[in-house]
Structure 1
Amino acid sequence: MPVKSLNLHLVSDSSGETVSSVARACQVQFEDVDVRHHQWWLIRTRGQALRVLDSIAAAPGPVLYTVMDPAIRATLEEGFARIDIPYIPILDPVLSTLSAVLDLPIRGKPGRQHVMDAEYFRRIEAMQFTIDHDDGQVIDGLENADVVVFGVSRTSKTPTCMYLANRGLKAANVPVVPGIPLPEQLLTLQGPLKVGLTREPRSLSDIRRNRLRMMNQSDENTYADEENVREEVLGARRLFSRLGFPVIDVTRKSIEEAAAAILQLHAEHKRRQQEEQAVLEDLSGYPT
């Protein structure tokens, strides 16, 4: 089947993060298409808008855009119509619906999601916590974690935790090593959600073998031997079952998908904690 080509123009008055995410999510639904992204960020003046229109006219293609200023929007939309290309203001349906439900006007300010507010600093704090508590480097302070991720080597613990930290969760990860028991304080840890990551042994063996080759080490190594890896994975799964950890198989999951599953588990974990807290308060007659 021949590959189709497409110029896709992404226009934003901010960093372009939102429109890029939408474009990626939609693009993967189509096969055999060569998509060339043309990115136009921080478009906040009429002069910038006109230059974008000139560039789009030179390489016509659909436009996805997030632009809040009415005057800049009008300039762009008039230009899109003149060039006769399809254009989609991706935030409009959501904003219009929320405005109607809330009976409030839309502020129309670009990049408000990137303001350095308390949420921003919470993410920075979470990132630092996650870096400090990567791969079991530091055990002290894990009671302050939101999530503690366990898994054998090369089950994507670190990138998953970094993604979670970028979403504002303090995420620590602890390696499960054959023959080395987990510290008792981890087994009795209260508060954080504890999750086990696993991977299909053959896939994990291949990943480890490639890792050894990158490090110029022999792949004739028990670390990558499939049978040894199988026993290691089975032992970890038995441990997770005994400790009651929910388990996520990352074999066919991206980092984002594994993190999304953990985010959902964390939300359920927090809800249960809140329900338990409410019961204790009802029994005691006052907040604990």
Structure 2
Amino acid sequence: MDSYHLHLVSDATGETVLSMARACLVQFEGINTTQHNWWLVRSQGQAERVIAGIEDNPGIVLCTLVDGAVRSLLEEACRRMRVPFIPVLDPVMGALAGFFGAEVGATPGRQYVLDAEYFARIDAMQYTLAHDDGQLLDDLDDADIVVIGVSRTSKTPTCMYLANRGYKCANYPLVPGVPLPTQLESLRWPLVVGLTKDPKSLSDIRRSRLRFLNHDEDAEYAQFEKVREEVASARKLFSRHGWPVVDVSRRSIEEASASIMQLHAQHAAKRDGVTA
């Protein structure tokens, strides 16, 4: 397997350049990269340390630096070392500047300003943590999204991802023999969405969970026929209430969340009397 050094340089948390690198690297098979993360690079002194690191381990440089002086210093050093230097935001920023007819600002970390949107995300995270796994059912109408599903259908991680995007979420686990709470029957404001999963895959996941907990993996909780009955019963419940369903069998948390966000936009438009 070929191995390369990859330097990711950011003047903020590195989230943007890291996500972009991951999205691109998965398209290459047989390639191994040693990743060097350089975050909060905002001064020429910090840039010099990055340059020293690149000299020790030469490799391609991806950056999201907006300060001209810091960026120029790094770019010139890369040119001298003959390593590729790629400012990943430039094509998008250039296109936006041309379209808007406006100049690009140069404020490092500007996307992380403590504005109203930031505090809304914090509020969403706090709400979601407090309403995990069927807790605090009496104020569900304050939620944006309520996720329902049988055990091990990724309800909690999906809700946490959505909360990080600013959605107040609650989730409720469906348990065989336990009736649906009346609070869920009468919801009008939030989007209620059901999560489902292939019974075979779900059975395997539950067996692994029981094995991890040193419990009997042949327990009814993980038996394929019982799991299939649970999934079928849940689907009937979703259908009876007209709740949309997202199948997470072959979807990542991000993909499932993207589908839910689309459903929420449609739900909100319909609820508010707006044509989506």
Structure 1 segments of 4 or more deviating over 4 A? none
Find 2:11's aligned residue among 13, 23, 31.
13
Q: TM-score, normalised by structure 2?
A: 0.97
Find 1:125's aligned residue among 102, 123, 126.
123
* Unaligned runs of at least 5 residues, structure 2: none
Give the alignment's Cα RMSD to 1 decimal.
1.2
Find 1:76's aligned residue among 71, 74, 77.
74
Which residue of structure 2 aligns with residue 28 of structure 1?
Answer: 26
Which residue of structure 1 aligns with residue 178 of structure 2?
Answer: 180
Which residue of structure 1 aligns with residue 150 of structure 2?
Answer: 152
Deviations 1:83-103 (A, max 9, x none): 111111111111111112112
Which residue of structure 2 aligns with residue 283 of structure 1?
Answer: none
Find 2:139's aligned residue among 138, 141, 145.
141
Find 1:103's aligned residue among 97, 101, 104.
101
Q: Return the alpha-carbon distance in structure 1 between the equivalents of residues 266 and 93 of structure 2.
A: 28
Q: Return the alpha-carbon distance in structure 2 between the equivalents of residues 185 and 42 of structure 1.
A: 46
Deviations 1:232-252 (A, max 9, x none): 101101111111111111111
Q: Return the alpha-carbon distance in structure 2 between the equivalents of residues 144 and 193 of structure 1.
A: 11
- Structure 1 residue 264 and structure 2 residue 262: aligned? yes
Larger CA deviation: 149-158 vs 114-123: 114-123
Q: Return the alpha-carbon distance in structure 1 between the equivalents of residues 60 and 138 of structure 2.
A: 52
| Secondary structure in 2 matching 1:196 | strand
Alignment of 1:135-284 (within 5 A): 135-275=133-273
Find 1:57's aligned residue among 55, 59, 82.
55
CA contact (8 A) 2:145 2:191 kept: yes
Q: TM-score, normalised by structure 1?
A: 0.93
Deviations 1:250-277 (A, max 9, x none): 111111111111111111212222335x
| Secondary structure in 2 matching 1:9 | strand
Amino acid of the residue matched to residue 109 of structure 1? T
State the identity as a percent.
58
Deviations 1:26-81 (A, max 9, x none): 11111111111111111111122122112112211111100011111111111111
- Structure 1 residue 114 and structure 2 residue 106: aligned? no
Amino acid of the residue matched to residue 76 of structure 2? E
Which residue of structure 2 aligns with residue 281 of structure 1?
Answer: none
Q: Return the alpha-carbon distance in structure 2 between the equivalents of residues 29 and 238 of structure 1.
A: 39
Aligned length: 275
* Unaligned runs of at least 5 residues, structure 1: 279-288
